[in-house]
Amino acid sequence: MLDKNSKIYVAGHHGLVGSAIWNNLKQRGYNNLVGRSHKELDLTDQVAVKAFFDEEQPDAVVLAAAFVGGIMANSLYRADFIMMNMKIQCNVISEAYAHGVKKLLFLGSTCIYPKNAPQPMKEDCLLTSPLEYTNEEYAIAKIAGLKMCESYNLQYGTNYIAVMPTNLYGPNDNFHLENSHVMPAMMRKIYLAKLIHDGEWDKIAIDLDKRPVEGVNGSASRHDVITILQKYGIYDNKVVLWGTGTPLREFLWSEDMADASVHVLLNVDFKDVIGIEKYSSVHYGASTDGAVDRNHSAGRGGAIPSLGEIRNCHINVGTGKELTIRELSELVVKAVGFEGIVEFDASKPDGTMRKLIDVSKLHSLGWTHKVEIEDGVQKLFEWYQDSLK
Active site residues: 138
Phi, psi of 104 (to 5 degrees): -135, 135
| Gap between the Cα atoms of 113 and 121, Å rounded | 8
AA identity, residue 61: V
| Gap between the Cα atoms of 86 and 142, Å rounded | 8
Give kind and range of the element (H or E) at residue 193.
helix 182-198
Looking at residue 245, the DSSP 8-state letter turns out to be S
Q: CA of 223: how far to CAs of 23, 150, 158, 230, 234, in Å? A: 42, 54, 58, 11, 13
Name the maximum alpha-carbon separation found in the chain: 77
Looking at residue 122, the DSSP 8-state letter turns out to be P
Edge-to-edge strands of the sheet including 8-11? 33-34, 8-11, 60-63, 103-107, 160-165, 315-317
> For residue 382, how far is the Cα from the chain centroid?
22
| Gap between the Cα atoms of 332 and 264, Å rounded | 31
- The DSSP annotation for 75-114 comes to HH-HHHHHHHHHHHHHHHHHHHHHTT-SEEEEE--GGGS-
Q: CA of 258: how far to CAs of 255, 264, 293, 328, 348, in Å? A: 5, 10, 33, 22, 33
Q: H/E/C letters for each residue in 124-175?
A: HHCCCCCCCHHHHHHHHHHHHHHHHHHHHHHHHCCCEEEEEECEEECCCCCC
CB 150: neighbour CB atoms within 10 A?
23
AA identity, residue 314: H
